[in-house]
Amino acid sequence: MKVVVVGGTGLIGSKLVALLSAQGHEAVAASPGTGVNTLTGEGLSAVLVGAEVVVDVSNSPSFEAAAVLEFFETSTRNLLAAEAAAGVRHHVALSVVGTERLPDSGYFRAKIAQEKLIESSSVPYSLVHATQFFEFVAGILDSATDGATVRLAHVLIQPMAADDVAAALLGVTVGAPRNGRVEVAGPEQFRLDDLGRRVLTARSDPRDVVTDPAATYFGAVLEEDTLVPLGDAALGSTRLEDWMAR
């Protein structure tokens, strides 16, 4: 079948396109670089001709609250309208575990808004909530850095490899719409501050991690289990040590 992957040239999208192609599907990477812009609508109608499934793994170029809300609301509205007109039968969107528990963050408020638009659309859908990627841990540490100090809360986190995220998306994409949420996570839980220390040590990074209960996570104060699945979740197979060894 034809599957259009919005954000298909990025970290997760490019992996998903490769997996779909390996299974014999017609996987089309859609991004501004390939002439498809969900914010303006440019190229949407053309790329969706004959598409059965659309997977949205795109992300906002800015994490500033107003900008990220504008991105997710506008791009999602444009995408869903074009899908309905083209007869797309399944909309798959990648989101984040704990999104609904992080309303203090402008980014996560925007993701909530995106999900509400998808849920109210006429297009059958599946929402894939993933925990943070190993590949983004460095960004988490950088966002919590003040000089040579990294301030992190002693809360649970269950990160996963981007390869495992793409594999989970593949399974949802080729299946029937869930009209609900699927949660995926890594095989191990850590404490966020302990994870930060392990990663910095492995990279010979001299920064010092300080455990701070008041430390925020992209503008939001974390509870013990904000970043981990609260119920059943499909678990990836890649462990932190194996990922770092690569």
Distance of CA 169 to the CA centre of its chain: 10
Strand pairing class (216-217; 220-221): antiparallel
What are the pLDDT digits (tens) for 15-62?
Answer: 999 999 999 999 999 999 999 999 999 999 999 999 999 999 999 988
Report the chain's mean pLDDT, rounded to a whole number. Answer: 96
Using alpha carbons, list the distances in angstroms from residue 197 to 182, 201, 204, 240: 30, 6, 10, 13
Q: Is 179 within 8 Å of 126 (Cβ atoms)? A: yes
- Asked whether the predicted pLDDT for residue 157 surpasses 90, the reply is yes
Distance of CA 159 to the CA centre of its chain: 12
Q: Which tokens in the block code for residue 93?
A: 């969107």
Tell me: pLDDT of 103 over 90: no
pTM: 0.94
- Residues 6 or more apart whose Cβ sits within 8 Å of residue 84: 121, 122, 123
- The pLDDT of residue 231 is 87
């995220």: which residue's tokens? 165
Q: Which residues have a Cβ under 8 Å from the Cβ of 201 and sit 6 or more positions away?
A: none
Residue 138 has pLDDT above 90, yes or no: yes
Phi then psi for residue 208, to 5 deg, are -110, 130
For 108-132, the DSSP string reads HHHHHHHHHHHHTSSS-EEEEEE--
92 has a pLDDT exceeding 90: yes
> How confident is the model over 94-101, as a mean pLDDT?
94
Which residue type occupies 93?
A: A
DSSP structure class, residue 134? G
113-136 pLDDT tens trace: 999 999 999 999 999 999 999 999
- Which range is least confidently modeled, 91-100, 141-150, 213-222? 213-222
Nearest to 12 by CA among 158, 109, 128, 119: 128
Cβ atoms of 145 and 90 closer than 8 Å = no
For residue 47, give Cα distances in angstroms to 27, 60, 84, 132, 228.
Answer: 11, 21, 13, 30, 36
Q: How far is CA 165 from the centre of its chain?
A: 8
Q: What is the pLDDT of residue 49?
A: 98
Alpha helices in 132-213 (DSSP H): 137-143, 162-173, 192-202
CA 61/CA 34 separation, integer angstroms: 17
Greatest C-alpha distance within the chain: 54
pLDDT tens digits, residue range 186-233? 999 999 999 999 999 999 999 999 999 999 988 888 999 999 999 889
What was the pLDDT predicted at 159?
98
